[in-house]
Structure 1
């Protein structure tokens, strides 16, 4: 939908005022509008350390459980409920 001549003039006046008062902001908005953006830090790859930490924790827990259960050859007796 196209703007009317009056709306376009008002928009141009806002743009001129913005460029005069805040040139850095005006440049950033212009880059966004044209698709020319410069990113200081690009999108990062998902880091694998949380998954590695969970895997190591599970391995240590499994080994500790196996070690604890290997000391008692009989299964633990459940107390009778009366």
Structure 2
């Protein structure tokens, strides 16, 4: 998962399984940012992705292009997982 997504999720309330997966992730440096390698079942990844929806803006909150791109990248990665 992109680092911008991980940073956002760390500031939100998560279910115990989601928090555990996030806490056990391994950070890997990539260019200016990082990627968090999270080992979890696809259902947990889909739950985490659902919690990232506010990054796309809406409800009077402006969208930050870098966060939107990170969420889209994560969505693409999650969509390739088998159910």
Q: Which TM-score bucket, shorter chain as reference? A: under 0.3
The answer to which structure, 1 or 2, has the higher relative contact order (CA under 8 A, 6+ apart) is: 2
TM-score by length of structure 2 reads 0.24
Task: Compare the two structures and name the one with the higher strand fraction.
Answer: 2
TM-score by length of structure 1 reads 0.25
